[in-house]
Structure 1
Amino acid sequence: MNTSARSQTTGHQRLFDRDRFIEDCVSAHRSTGMEAVREVLAEAIRDHRAVLKTLGGPTKAGLDVMHTSPDFTIFAAHWTPQMNLLPHDHMMKALIGIYTGREDNILWRHGEEGIEAYEANCLFEGDIAALPSHAIHSVTNPLQRFTGGIHIYDGDFFATERHQWDPETLAEAPSDGEAIKAMFAAENERLFGRDSN
């Protein structure tokens, strides 16, 4: 039995080892890059129930940061019921693996008059997606319950200047880690009220 895998088997129950998963992702990234990291994520998310049991069910919008460095970021992102994220880019390669709920993506590209939508996909529990560094997407949790996904980036997600687009006018504006935190704060206020933490 391979006990160095992301999930370990104990009897009939598989366990997701958070620390080991982070170590394996960092090691894979250092050795051969995001393709190897994708394999690590795919193996872990294949048993999404084990990931959910270890990480716990989301209870508010936010990020559970697992690892951050100048060249690599891992976090669990939590979307509230029916939460929408406006179109945004990452300026780096990204991997997304859903361990609870669902994430609907609209993919955008630059056109003659700004950005235009050209494709959509749905990520269900156990699904993963890879986004290239030039990707622009908007995200919706269509469910009446929380969605949780592991997000992995080929760079420092929080220190990189990025872009976002107004969901109605599609006007472009700068975005960064602080802008993302503000989105989550607004979403929690919408769901729970001003006095919630």
Structure 2
Amino acid sequence: MSFNLESFIADCKSAVEGDKPQEVIAELVQSAVQDYKGVMAAIGEPKRAMIEKLYVSDSLTIVNVVWAPKMTLMPHNHNTWAIIGVYSGREDNIFWRRLKDDKNGKIEAAGAQSIAATEVAKLGKNIVHSVTNPTSEFTGAIHVYGGNFFELDRSEWDPMSLNEGVYDVEKALALFEAENAALK
């Protein structure tokens, strides 16, 4: 059976209303990225950096994230759980933790996970991570969040000082466009 975007969205909407939504949605995303050719047939092959909204509500966001070659996004949180399923390429995630007793919300590296095509990662509500596409190709991933990714109060961390600031959605979206411009 080939991936169907409308069915996938409907299944995720049902799951978010049920018991253990993160677990059920992780299974849905795993099934989707296993059919990576079907995913690309439905949403297109990754050819430009972007965050494409596939579905957004107060309780659920589904986006197609395409990372440009060698692209890195600064440390940030989601303030909700997240499921990341890579259907093309690779995402390298560095996980961060807050330093105790630091008044600036400074963080330090605490772990890492590399996610290749057909693999899924589950991120908890309090996870802080940065993302890098280490390859020379575009990386495509379906990201599902347990809330409105675009309206949640969130934080980002300066990549040099690692001090906490307010997450800026427009700045993040502009980074994707800047990556596209640099590739031209």
For 2:145 and 2:73, the matched residues in 1 are separated by 18
Residue pairs, 1:163-174, within 5 angstroms: 163-174=155-166
Q: Which moved more, 1:67-76 or 1:41-50?
A: 41-50
The alignment partner of 1:63 has SS state of strand
Structure 1 distance, partners of 2:159, 2:169, is 19
Runs of at least 5 residues in structure 2 that lack an aligned partner in the other structure: none
Highest Rg: 1 or 2? 1
How far apart, in 2, do the equivalents of 1:118 and 1:70 lie? 30
Partner of 1:111: 99
Aligned mate of 1:156, from 128, 143, 148: 148
Worse overlay, 106-115 or 65-74? 106-115
Whether the aligned pair in 1 keeps the contact of 2:82 and 2:143 (CA below 8 Å) is yes
Sequence identity (%): 40
1:179, 1:34 → 2: CA distance? 28
Q: 1:163 to 1:153 in 2, by over 3 A?
A: same
AA at the equivalent of 1:141: N
Please report how far the alpha carbon of residue 128 of structure 1 lies from its aligned counterpart in structure 2 after TM superposition.
0.2
For 1:138, the equivalent position in structure 2 comes to 130
Q: Distance in 2 between matches of 1:72 and 1:119?
A: 27
Letter in 1 for 2:143: H
> How far does the alpha carbon of each residue in 1:138-195 deviate from its partner, in whole angstroms, 9 at most, with x for none?
0000110000000000000011121111111112211143232122122222222xxx
SS in 1 for 2:30: helix
| SS in structure 2 at match of 1:31 | coil
Asked if the contact 2:46–2:140 (Cα under 8 Å) also holds between the matched residues in 1, the reply is: yes
Cα distance in 1 for residues equivalent to 2:87 and 2:142: 7
The answer to whether the Cα contact below 8 Å between 1:158 and 1:176 also exists between their aligned partners in 2 is no
Asked if the contact 2:16–2:59 (Cα under 8 Å) also holds between the matched residues in 1, the reply is no
The structure, 1 or 2, with the larger RCO (C-alpha pairs under 8 Å, 6+ apart) is 2
Number of the residue aligned with 1:100: 88
Whether 1:19 aligns to 2:11 is no
Distance 1:137 1:105 in 2: 6
Choose which of 30, 55, 60 in structure 1 pairs with 2:17: 30
CA contact (8 A) 1:45 1:97 kept: yes
Code of the residue aligned with 1:22 in structure 2: it is I
Cα-to-partner distance string for 1:62-121 (whole Å, 9 max, x where unaligned): 112111001110011000000000101101100000000100000000013420001011
**TM-score between the two structures when normalised by the length of structure 1:** 0.86
Q: 2:32 corresponds to which residue?
A: 44
- Distance in structure 2 (CA, Å) of the matches to 1:139 and 1:30: 29
Aligned length: 179
Please list every run of 5 or more consecutive structure 1 residues that lacks an aligned counterpart in the other structure. Answer: 1-7, 9-14, 193-197
Distance 1:185 1:84, change over 3 A: same
